[in-house]
Structure 1
Amino acid sequence: MRISTGVRTTIQPSLDFPVRRYLLLGIMSTAMLVLSGRAVYLQVLDRVFLKDKGNLQHVSVVDVSAYRGQIKDRNGEPLAISTPVQSIWMNMRQIKDGDREKLGEMAKILGMPSKDFDAFLKKEAGKRFVYVKRQINPDLAEKIKALEITGVYFERAFKRYYPAGATAGHLLGFTNIDDIGQEGMERGYEHILRGNPGKKRVIKDGKGHIIKDVENIKEAVPGQDLVLTIDERIQYLAYRELQTAVLNHKAHSASLVVLDAKNGDVLASVSQPAFNPNNRKELRSNRYRNRAMVDSFEPGSTVKPFVVAAALDGGYVAPNAMIETHGVYHVGRNVVKDVHNYGTLDLTLVLQKSSNIAVTKLAMSMPPEYFWGIYNSLGFGNSAGVGFPGEASGSLLDYQGWHEFDQAILSFGYGVSTSVLQLARAYTAIADDGIVHSVSLLKRDEDPDAKQIFKPETARSIRAMLERVISKQGTAYQARVEGYRVAGKTGTVKKASATGGYTHDKYLSVFVGMAPASNPRFVIAVVVDEPTTGQYYGGLVAAPAFSRVMAGALRIYGVEPDGMDTMPLLLTKE
């Protein structure tokens, strides 16, 4: 059955659909046009903007500076340390004209005159890397960072600082602007002091500033510390007294070395003129040369104790022998003279009067090979081997090349050359009962190279003879130290002439001694080059400096006095 409602339904198309479609297409087209226009603007019309935005933050790998090892004295006092600094560099291609005012502010902070800074900018224009100033105080670097100058970058570094200043300048040397050792111990032990730089990945902003550490790629390895045998207290004392000697005698230069008589440790080494390694304006070669270690000279009469010891030890002279001098002695066609006619001398007076004739006779009584062997064993002609750059080896002609007169002049210190360090080392053989010590600038537990050169009784006899040199009748009364017995020897050496032979008005004033003479604790050698005030004898020029340094060293180390004639006075004062 069919049911009809009687209502007819008619469906007509909607007019809203086309409108919506066209509206949607219009919106999409407009958006595309806007985006395309923006892209064209950024890529074509504002490339600088795009570049800056793209570089706003980026990942970079940078070096990490390694800390250079410290140099310390034997008691741990710092002699050379590294302090953090900043270096400023520029990429000139990134500098904007709009930052000219900021650049001027940077120049003011750095203390650079505007005229000089403008010339610098002009000269370095176009370079991708150029240092503006290196090793500046971190506080100044922070002020410049606050200016936010595009193209200005900062580099972390270290600057070497020497707390003792000029006191130890010759010994320590210095580093260059890149923190690499150039002279002295800084150079000689660069391989130990130098660290190995590391690397890390960081995020930088558009101005090149590090804003975040991402990761360590390679850890920086700091350098090792270097502990020296030097005692800063004695080093300062030696520096002060040597400077006084140079000023008092208006000398050209001078050197002084203090050794531990028991093991050869170098407790002090100073030279004049001095320089301060913290002041790079003073870095001139004639000032920073360590004369105590790199210069050599003829030691003169200071070798005479070794001649007497060699003759005694080898049985070539009896302890109670008497030697005739009488002012003049002929060796072949050559003549050896003394300052005075001393007549007949025993061995003690030979050293007390410093007779050239007597030691010549002793030297000529010994076989050349034996005599040469003693000098060689004492270290003459060989570097002391302390690892100091440019260290002198001196000279000692092989005995096979000697003429008759060579052996004679060697006995009073000509025809052989030595450094102050080598001469001080040789005297350890007298100070330590015949044992000659190797010398060291690095702290050690013992001396593995110590050698017995003379019999103990021979060395003790020589010390007793050398005490007479310090008496009123000797040549070095001004070397005495109150409360202590002192043994030592003077030398007054004519300097070699550039045209051959020797000068008659230029001298080296030398003194080497030890104390307490009963059991020496220290050996000190002093050389003053070309004193010009009229005095030039070693006992008048070099001995006073020895006396003051020795007195201070004995006091610092609390060494018990052995001078019995002054003991009651010392006890009364206490």
Structure 2
Amino acid sequence: MNRQEPQPTKMQRFVASLKAWRFGCVMGVFLLVVGALGWRLVDLHVVDREFLRQQGDVRTIRVDAIDAHRGMITDRYGEPLAVSTPVETLWANPGETDPDDPRLASLASVIGVNEAQLRKRLREYGSREFIYVRRKVQPSIAREALALGIPGFYSRLEYKRYYPAGEVSAHLVGFTDIDEAGQEGVELSYNEWLSGVPGRKRVLRDNRGRLIRDLSLIRDARPGKDLTLSLDLRLQYLAYRELKAVVQAHKARGGTLVMLDVDTGEVLAMVNQQSYNPNDRRQLDPARLRNKAVTDLFEPGSTMKPLAMAAALESGDYSLDTVINTSPGHRRFGRFTIRDHRNYGALSLTDIIVRSSNVGISLIANDLGGDLIRDFYFQLGLGQPTGIGFPGEAVGVLPSTNRWRPVEEATLSYGYGMSVNALQLAQAYMALANGGVRYPVSLTRLQQPPIGHRVMSETVAMQVRDMLQQAVERGTGKRALPALYSAGGKTGTVHLVGANGYEDSQYKAIFAGMAPMEDPKIVTVVAVDAPQGGDYYGGEVAAPVFARVMGDALRLLNVRPELTAVEAAAQTPADSGERG
């Protein structure tokens, strides 16, 4: 017997219908949402694509650096020696640039780079967003380059160091690298003082790096501090001119000149030969970078005799009335012989300096002892740093021993067996010029009088100054007399030291002195390395440079002439035959 399936009730049919309808509604809503989203995606990526891209481009927030320019370096009167000028740096986004763009040839020509190298770099760094193309060019060149309209090339403001005095002040001022960090000279020793602190700001930029607008300042840029040097640019120029002229005239290896203010210890001029142009370093010779006035040492020779004489007078064992018998004109120490130019016989202390007698000063040194002379030299600043903080400064050698040999005492008195730099020698002579006070030397202009300490009595300083004046008027330094002014100083001629010891045929010609003698204002040291030809003595090569530089410098400083032109001509002494 067949059983029939029970028929769904009316309620069951209603529930089933409701479920089907609800499922249809859900699916319908789902399909509508999917359709709406699909349409919106199509709308965003097809219909409104350009609009949205532009909106994204102009809403890129970035943080930019604000460049801070480096502090200015000036001479004592405000004349610029180093300034930072605004320039443009060209850069590129290789991802936006076609390395095969024919306009790159014109761009390379405008900015002065190799076209092939430029195309190669754009290919190699195609995944990067930033590369330098040419740093720190003139704004006009940057404008001309950007006017070519090559995609992916931009510029930004930077600063470039410029040195108005060029090679004249190069060794003292020094220079910076491309990022304006000090590399040599004052630029290096005062780098922290001169360096600025960059600022930061939020900006809106597009994807090509173009500025839309500034948003907010995070930190303001702080420029570097200015630096005023003690240098007088007028004196620096004339010193450089005269030193360069004598080096060229005598075909010398080089030379050095240092000029100090007697009353303050400020460096008024400091020049060297050979020099270099810090504005054009494409073929820079590293050998020319040294400021030889402070980095190079030499034996000072006879320029030390006045200082040894000051030690003798300061000891109280000698006076101006003392007479020294220098016969027979030479002294023998084993295999070593000290000689004078000729046999001078009995000499006063003044004549020992005037005649530059090695025998006379060595006899005094052996009587005094090496310790006394050595300690006196040290009090004058020899054998120790000058305190100027110049990079690469050489301290020099001031010998010291428990037991001095007679030959060591003798050579110490006339400047052998020791070494100094030109600045140290000028500082020592400054104490003679100002009445016996040693002042610290300074490369920056002083705002108040310096504090010094007395190293000899004023009487002794004046007595030695008189000796130096007579050495110029009737002795080895007669060619150092400047026109219209009195002067005092001492010559020196020493063998240069090479890899194998003293060079027999190569000399350093030196003159150290002061002017005017009634009230000295300036101390100057001149040293010329390896002059060629027949003239190589300090009195022949260095002394004339001193005369020209000091005469012009005193006139520039408005120092009243002591002599008329007629008196100066009449006072010029005849050649004594001694060269020093």
Q: TM-score, normalised by structure 1?
A: 0.88
2:544 corresponds to 1:544:
yes
**Residue from 439, 445, 456 that aligns with 1:443:** 445
Deviates more, 1:484-493 or 1:323-332: 323-332
Partner of 1:520: 520
Post-superposition Cα deviations, 1:407-456, rounded to whole Å, max 9, x if no partner, equal 11111101111111110110011101111221100111345441211111
Match of 1:117 in 2: 118
Contact 2:513/2:523, CA 8 A, preserved across alignment: yes
Contact 2:301–2:415 (Cα < 8 Å) also in 1: yes
- CA 1:508–1:250 in 2, change beyond 3 Å: closer, same or farther? same
1:259 matched residue in structure 2: 260
Q: How does 1:26-425 map to 2 (within 5 A)?
A: 35-39=40-44, 41=46, 54-96=56-98, 100-325=101-326, 326-331=328-333, 334-400=336-402, 402-425=404-427
| Contact 1:483 1:566 (C-alpha < 8 Å) held by counterparts | no
1:215-268: CA deviations, max 9, x gaps? 211011111110000000000000000000100000001000011111111000
2:472 maps to amino acid: I
Q: Unaligned regions of 5+ residues in structure 1, if any?
A: 1-26
Give the Cα–Cα distance (whole angstroms) in 2 for the partners of residues 278 and 413 of structure 1. Answer: 39
Q: Judging changes above 3 Å, is the alpha-carbon distance between structure 1 residues 400 and 453 closer, same or farther for their aligned structure 2 residues?
A: same
Opposite residue 521 of structure 1, the aligned amino acid is K
- 1:489 corresponds to which residue? 490
Alignment of 1:559-570 (within 5 A): 559-563=559-563, 566=566
Supply the distance in 1 between the matched residues of 2:152 and 2:88 (Cα, whole angstroms): 16
Counterpart amino acid of 1:80?
A: A
Q: Quick check: 381-390 or 207-216, which moved more?
A: 207-216
Task: Assess, with a 3 A threshold, how the Cα gap between structure 1 residues 529 and 29 changes in structure 2: closer, same or farther.
Answer: closer
User: 2:264 touches 2:450 (CA, 8 Å); kept in 1?
Assistant: no
Matched, 1:530 2:502: no
Bigger shift: residues 171-180 or 154-163: 154-163
Deviations 1:455-491 (A, max 9, x none): 11111111111112212x4112211112211100000
Is the contact made by 1:82 and 1:159 (CA closer than 8 Å) also made in structure 2? yes
Q: Provide structure 2 residue ranges, at least 5 long, that are not aligned to the other structure.
A: 1-31, 571-580
Q: Counterpart amino acid of 1:499?
A: N
Q: What is the alpha-carbon distance in structure 2 between the residues aligned to residue 29 and residue 263 of structure 1? A: 89
User: Given the superposition, is the C-alpha separation of residues 230 and 282 from structure 1 closer, same or farther in structure 2, using an over 3 Å criterion?
Assistant: farther
SS of aligned partner of 1:488: strand
Aligned to 1:478: 479
Shift of 1:121: 3.0
CA shift digits 1:202-224 (9 cap, x unpaired): 11123112232222110111111
Residue 503 of structure 1 corresponds to 503
Contact conserved, 1:489 with 1:512, CA < 8 A, in 2? yes
8 Å contact from structure 1 (residues 86, 141) kept in 2: yes
Which whole-Å deviations, capped at 9, do the CAs of 1:290-346 have from their partners, x for residues lacking one? 111111100000000011111011112221111111211134664322222222111
Kept after mapping to 2: 8 A contact 1:509/1:536: yes
Give the Å deviation of 1:282: 4.3
- Greater mean alpha carbon deviation, residues 444-453 or residues 538-547: 444-453
> Counterpart of 1:306 in 2: which secondary structure?
helix
For 1:369-415, what per-residue CA distance to the aligned partner results, in whole angstroms no more than 9, with x for missing partners? 32211000111111111121111111112243643322111111011
Give SS of 1:329's match.
strand
SS in 1 for 2:359: helix
Taking structure 1 as reference, are residues 144 and 31 closer, same or farther at Cα in structure 2, changes over 3 Å only?
farther
State the identity %.
Answer: 41
Paired AA for residue 341 in structure 1? N
Q: Residues 133, 565 of structure 1: CA spacing in aligned structure 2 closer, same or farther, 3 A cutoff?
A: closer
- SS of residue paired to 1:470: helix
1:122-160 deviation line (CA, Å, top 9, x unaligned): 444434432110001122223334445443332321100
Task: Name the CA distance, whole Å, in 1 between partners of 2:441 and 2:33.
Answer: 91
Change (3 A) 1:551 1:53: same
Provide the secondary structure at the position in 1 that maps to 2:559. coil
The alpha-carbon distance between structure 1 residues 401 and 480, as it changes in their structure 2 partners (threshold 3 A), is same
- Cα distance, 1:190 vs structure 2: 0.2
What SS does the aligned partner of 1:400 have? coil
TM-score (norm 2): 0.87
Assess, with a 3 A threshold, how the Cα gap between structure 1 residues 204 and 359 changes in structure 2: closer, same or farther.
same
CA distance in 2 between counterparts of 1:435 and 1:287 reads 35
Kept in 1: contact 2:58–2:204 (CA 8 A): no
Q: Which residue of 2 aligns with 1:462?
A: 464
Q: Which amino acid aligns with 1:126?
A: S
